[in-house]
Chain A
Amino acid sequence: AQSVTQLDSHVSVSEGTPVLLRCNYSSSYSPSLFWYVQHPNKGLQLLLKYTSAATLVKGINGFEAEFKKSETSFHLTKPSAHMSDAAEYFCVVSDRAGANNLFFGTGTRLTVIP
């Protein structure tokens, strides 16, 4: 079975400081892993994805995530938070390499303090 656990429901950082959003996954297969962002009243946008290539994945807007199989983790980081990063972030695992179905975590709401 596939599932993800987002360890923090809410993270608050000051503008210009690093961001860390934590995610642990469970998968019966070699997983594909994703981070999506959801801004208020907007659709889900793909930030980055891991599909068994490089373990450090770079995404849009300066975000990156590192796949650690031994820890079953896929944490999302950014060196310096911007006000526009305030949103809901979802860690996602697919059930097969072809990403037929996506299993979403419960989300982490990121607040950026000016």
Chain B
Amino acid sequence: DTGVSQDPRHKITKRGQNVTFRCDPISEHNRLYWYRQTLGQGPEFLTYFQNEAQLEKSRLLSDRFSAERPKGSFSTLEIQRTEQGDSAMYLCASSLVGPRTDTQYFGPGTRLTVL
């Protein structure tokens, strides 16, 4: 399978703990995006990278959230001191930027439950 992969698929944690999620994009894609989807809502943009540079962050991304893409390949999203309100599906997407190749392809997501 050469699509976007995310790990883990499910994470249950206690309030106050730190969690880290990983996303592996489609190999030739230079852009990588993170979204959050809460129950009954559409995904909301969090941040994106072009290669290893983080170019934009949403106001949803509080200082407890940090994302990295150190070598321009896989990315990690870390949430520190988790809160119950962080419970959501975290989605990763990737795209190849070009004149006709701006489509974002999504991974299966990581479902986070904060107890």
A interface residues, Cβ below 8 angstroms from B? 32, 34, 36, 41-46, 49, 51, 90, 92, 94, 97-107
Contacts and interface: CB of A to CB of B under 8 A. Distances in A.
Interface residues of B, number: 25
24 contacts: A34-B103, A43-B91, A43-B106, A43-B107, A43-B108, A44-B91, A44-B106, A45-B106, A46-B103, A90-B43, A94-B102, A98-B102, A99-B102, A100-B55, A100-B56, A101-B33, A101-B48, A102-B35, A102-B43, A102-B104, A104-B43, A104-B44, A106-B42, A107-B41
Contacts of B93: 44, 102
Nearest to B109: A43
A32 B102 contact: yes
Contacts of A41: 108
A24 to B, nearest CB: 14
A32 B105 CA distance: 15
A35 to B, nearest CB: 12
A97 to B, nearest CB: 8
A43 B4 contact: yes
Contacts of B85: none
B9 to A, nearest CB: 9
Nearest to B44: A104
Contact of B56 (A46, A94, A101): A101
B102 to A, nearest CB: 4
Interface in B53-99: 55-56, 91, 93, 95, 97
